[in-house]
Structure 1
Amino acid sequence: MVNFSSYVGRVTATVLTLALFLAAVTAWRWGRQEAYALLFAAFLSVINMLILGGRLIALPASTHLAARRLGGAVLQRWIITILGLILAIFWLHLPVIGLVAGFLLAHFVFLAFLMRERIRQRS
């Protein structure tokens, strides 16, 4: 079984490292606004991962309470994501393509970590 705190920490560190590298490349190739958008979305995804990781670590033994806690985490993540996107698009005027790239980066890194863990469990 995977220790969730170390797992979330490794995913978070990988996402942030790749986001900084890709933001530097993006700033050099396409401009600062796109790089800021990529970083903003990656940081927003990391915040969401940390929220869910924190909730998974502290799950109560009762299935009913655990379901409520996870439901609250999902609702909290959606609210943070929607408010963050509204902030990014309408107030900061960040380009949508950079935001999409940041979210895709975070989700593909998370998917890669899940696939790696699945392969480890089957071996």
Structure 2
Amino acid sequence: MVNFSSYVGRVTATVLTLALLMAAVAAWGWGREEAYAVLFAAFLSVVNMLILGGRLIALPASAQRAAQRLGGAVLQRWTITILGLIFAIFWLRLPVIGLVAGFLLTHFVFLAFLVRERSRQRS
């Protein structure tokens, strides 16, 4: 079993590093607004990952309580994501393409870490 805090730290550091690189490319190619959108979406995804991770660490022993806690975490993540996107699009006026790029980046990095960890466990 991998140490959760170090795992989350590696994923977070990788996501934020790649988001900064992608934002630099976006700023160079399309403009500052796209770069801000990439960074905003990456930050929002990292916050969501940390919320879920915190809930996973503190799962109760009871299966019913654990299911309720995970359901609450999923609801909380969706609420934060939707409110964050509404804020980004309508208040900050960030471009949707940059937000999508930032979300895709973070989710692909997270998926890559999961696949790598799964292949390590099978070996």
State the TM bucket, normalised to the shorter chain: over 0.9
Q: Cα distance, 1:36 vs. partner?
A: 0.3
Separation (CA, whole Å) in 1 of partners of 2:5 and 2:74: 18
What residue number does 1:33 align with? Answer: 33
For 1:6, the equivalent position in structure 2 comes to: 6
What is the CA-CA distance between 1:5 and the residue it aligns to?
Answer: 1.9
Instruction: Name stretches of at least 5 consecutive residues in structure 1 with no aligned partner.
Output: none
Paired residue for 2:17? 17
| Cα distance, 1:32 vs structure 2 | 0.2
Corresponding position: 1:120 with 2:120: yes
Give the Cα–Cα distance (whole angstroms) in 2 for the partners of residues 107 and 119 of structure 1. Answer: 18
Superposition RMSD on alpha carbons, in Å? 0.7
User: Higher mean Cα deviation, 35-44 or 6-15?
Assistant: 6-15
TM-score by length of 1: 0.97
Work out the number of aligned pairs and report it: 123
Structure 1 residue 50 corresponds to structure 2 residue 50 = yes
Deviates further, 19-28 or 93-102:
19-28
> Hey, what's the Cα distance between the residues in 1 that align with 2:72 and 2:102?
25
Tell me the distance in 1 between the aligned counterparts of 2:122 and 2:53.
23
Q: Which amino acid aligns with 2:15?
A: V
Name the aligned partner's letter for residue 30 of structure 2. Answer: W
In structure 2, what is the equivalent of residue 109 of structure 1? 109
| % identity of equivalent residues | 86
CA distance in 1, matches of 2:69, 2:10: 23
